[in-house]
Amino acid sequence: MELAWLAAGIGAGLVVIGAGLGIGKLSASAMEATGRQPEATGDVRTSMIISAALIEGVALFGLVICILLAIKS
C-alpha cells in the first residue's frame, strides 16, 4: 500500500514537471513569434491559450489517474 502512494506521488510529480516544461516552451515560442511579427499578437495569444488549456487538461487527467491508482491499491 505504501508503495502505491509513493508511485502515485512520483507519477504526479512527473506529470507536473512535464506540464510545466510544455507550457514554458509554448510561452517562449509565443513570445518569440510576437517579437518577430507584432501584428499577429492576437492570433498568437489565442493559439497559446488554447494550447496551454489542452496541456493543463492532459496534466489534470494524469493527476487523476495517479490518485485513482493510489486509492485502489
* Structure confidence by residue, pLDDT tens digits, 8-35: 999 999 999 999 999 999 999 999 999 9
Range of the domain at 14: 2-72
Torsion of CA 50, 55, 59, 61, to 10 degrees: 60
CATH of the domain at 52: 1.20.20.10
- pTM for this predicted structure: 0.84
Q: How many domains does the chain have?
A: 1
**pLDDT score for 3:** 87
**pLDDT interval class at 4 (50, 70, 90):** confident
Say what percent of the chain tops pLDDT 90: 85
**pLDDT interval class at 73 (50, 70, 90):** low
Check: CB of residue 24 under 8 Å from CB of residue 65. no
